[in-house]
Structure formats: C-alpha cells, structure tokens
Amino acid sequence: MENCKDWTQLKVTVKREHLDELVAIMSMIQNNLMIEDFSDIDLTSCYGDLIDESILNADKTVASVSVFLPADRPFTDAVSFLRERMSAAALEGKVEMIGVNEEDWANSWKAYYKTLHIGKRMVIVPAWEDYTPAEGEIVVRMDPGMAFGTGTHETTRLVIELLEQYTKKGTRVLDVGCGSGILAICASKLGAAECRAYDIDPVAVRVAEENVKDSGQTNVICGVSDLLRQVDLTGGKYDLVCANIVADIIIRMAPDVGNYMKDDAILLASGIITERAEEVVAALETNALRVVERHDDNGWSALVVQKV
C-alpha cells in the first residue's frame, strides 16, 4: 500500500454475530478488506505473551471491517452507499472515517455533488446551487445530508432513467428503502398521482420528508417501515414499485411484493451487483413476477419486473 496519508480508512464495527453480513456489504465497495475479529484468539497458548496488549484487551463481542479509499477521491458516495445498505439490512454498527476530521466529513462531500443530468429530462441539482433549466427539463433539488440518494450512484441513476419511462399520469408509486426520497420526488414530478416512500431508518425518513417539503411535491408521503410491513394499502395497491436496495433484500421481498402491486404493475428493482442478477431474477420469477428488461451499468444491474 502507498503511504498511509494517501488513503482514507472507512471502518465499520458491528456485533460479532453480524460480521458475515457486514463483509458482504463492504465487499460491494471494495474487495480488499481488513477484518478485525479477535474473538477466537487463544489466550492460553504459549504465544499469549507475544500478543499485543491492545488485542488482549479488545472487546471480543464486536468485529470490524475496513476498506481503504484513495484520499484524492470523494469518499461520500461510499459512506452514503454503506449507510443505505446497512439500513436496508437492519444492520446496526459504528461507521468511522479515519484520516478525515468530523467537519470535513460533514461538509466536504458538497464539493463533489454537482448538477447531474439523467435520462432525457431529469436534472438533479444540489439545493445550494443555482440552475436555470432548459425547455422540457424537470429539476429536482436535493440536500441528501447523510441519507443515501444523490443520483450520482449507478443504482439510483438506473432507476431514475426507468422512472422516466414507466411513470405515467395518475400512477400510484411505492418506494421501498427510500433513502433521501429522491425516487419518490422524481416520480411525483414526472406525473405520479401519489407516492409513498418508506425506509427502516428514521434518519433517512426525516431527511426524505425535508427534501419532499423543499420540493413542493405535496403528493409524496414518507414513513418508517421494515420493508413492506408498515406500507399503507388503504388507498389500494400500487401501479409502480421501486426497490433500490440490495440483492438479498429484494430476494427476501419477492414472495410478498406482488401483494402490493396491481395486476400488470411494474417493479423497478435496483442495487443489485451484476454477478447476483440471475439469482434475483430466479427469486422474482418463482413468485409470479416476470423480468421484462435488465439494464447494467458499471457492475450494477436494474430490473424491470411485471406482475403476471
């Protein structure tokens, strides 16, 4: 490894029993992982005297996984992606950026978040920047805070592009794992009649509510839900469902999501590592959901799925 000053360490600590889940999520960011798990050190061995005291005294009930990110690149996408994936998996842990002071962590990401054109009409604009739209452009202003979803990540871009195609006037939209609320806001601006946006993380929901309020889209309602458990069905089933989360969670949703979809409704499933796309397709098609399109971008896949 190069001089350590050229790298930023992203470290996450979880309960020891959740280490495998954390490794799976961290490997989505980078394959070179540093794992700290001292639970199986044999203190009775003859080598005990040679073990560093800090290791001997370490908490054996927790484990940590780190990746090292180049210091000259924005680390904020990785942090936001990590938080969103941990939230989707209901995985609690301590996230640290070693080599970055707290003020830089809170604010420096703004230097990398610029106006972004997605698809034919959508323009995602940071809340603090001025932008004059061209004719026909639809502007979405975002201040994602620590919630995932600025439109910069491939998974989010893929869904926004598909929303342009599948959101019709009067569409009723459900967003599961809404993060910053960006997808529901986009759908509303594209003509959806009603959007329900849910996340398991109350912080993400609060950020989403603030973004919805700032957007002026009064037909977007946000709430806390563990996947589909608290989703409101009093207004009927949905025409369009977005699930920009992870492969494992989409697979877990597969047996139930059809119960929230109207006949011939569409599910836009994203956040899927390309290597696992076929696994997700198999789980969906086992549950009367037919994959009609697949879009790949830089190692990520998004699926257009129809209820049959």
Instruction: Provide the CATH number for the domain around residue 56.
Output: 3.30.70.120
Report d(CA 298, CA 218) in Å as an integer: 35
71 pLDDT higher than 60: yes
- Residues 74, 174 within the same domain: no
Share of the chain above pLDDT 90, in %: 39
Which residues neighbour 256 within 8 Å (Cβ) at sequence distance 6 or greater?
227, 228
Q: What pTM did the predictor assign?
A: 0.70
223 pLDDT higher than 60: yes
Grouping H, G, I as helix, E, B as strand and the rest as coil, residue 300 is strand
Cα atoms in the 13 Å half-sphere on the side-chain side of 203: 11
- Residues 103, 119 within the same domain: no
Q: Specify the length of the chain in residues.
A: 308
- Residues 143, 181 within the same domain: yes
Q: Where does the pLDDT of residue 243 fall: very low under 50, low under 70, confident under 90, or very high at 90 and above?
A: very high
Average of per-residue pLDDT across 210-215 = 89
Share of the chain above pLDDT 70, in %: 81
Tell me if 241 sits within 8 A of 162, measured CB to CB: no
Domain of 256: which CATH number?
3.40.50.150
Grouping H, G, I as helix, E, B as strand and the rest as coil, residue 99 is coil
Least confident among 107-116, 219-228, 269-278 = 107-116
Domain around 210? 113-307
What's residue 167's pLDDT? 96
- Residues 100, 117 within the same domain: no
Least confident among 77-91, 92-106, 181-195, 209-223 = 92-106
- Residues 104, 228 within the same domain: no
Last residue of a domain, one of 109, 130, 155: 109
Cα 147 to its chain centre, rounded Å, is: 9
Looking at the structure of the chain, the number of domains it has is 2
Last residue of a domain, one of 109, 142, 167: 109
Task: Say which DSSP state 19 is in.
Answer: H
Report d(CA 83, CA 239) in Å as an integer: 28
Average of per-residue pLDDT across 214-223 = 93
- Residues 104, 122 within the same domain: no
- Residues 178, 203 within the same domain: yes
- Residues 25, 140 within the same domain: no
The residue that leads in pLDDT, 239 or 249, is: 239
Instruction: List the one residue out of 271, 93, 95 whose CA is nearest residue 177.
Output: 271
Last residue of a domain, one of 42, 75, 109: 109
Which residues neighbour 86 within 8 Å (Cβ) at sequence distance 6 or greater?
12, 22, 25, 92, 93, 95
Q: Where does the pLDDT of residue 74 fall: very low under 50, low under 70, confident under 90, or very high at 90 and above?
A: low
Average of per-residue pLDDT across 229-239 = 91
- Residues 276, 164 within the same domain: yes
The encoded tokens of residue 204 equal 């993400």
Q: Residue 232 CB: number of other CB atoms within 10 A?
A: 13
Query: For 12-153, where are the alpha helices, taking DSSP H only?
Result: 19-26, 53-56, 76-88, 102-107
- Residues 42, 154 within the same domain: no
Highest mean pLDDT among 141-155, 162-176, 198-212: 162-176
What's residue 50's pLDDT? 40
Instruction: List the one residue out of 86, 94, 150 whose CA is nearest residue 122.
Output: 150
- Residues 201, 93 within the same domain: no
146 pLDDT higher than 50: no
- Residues 41, 122 within the same domain: no
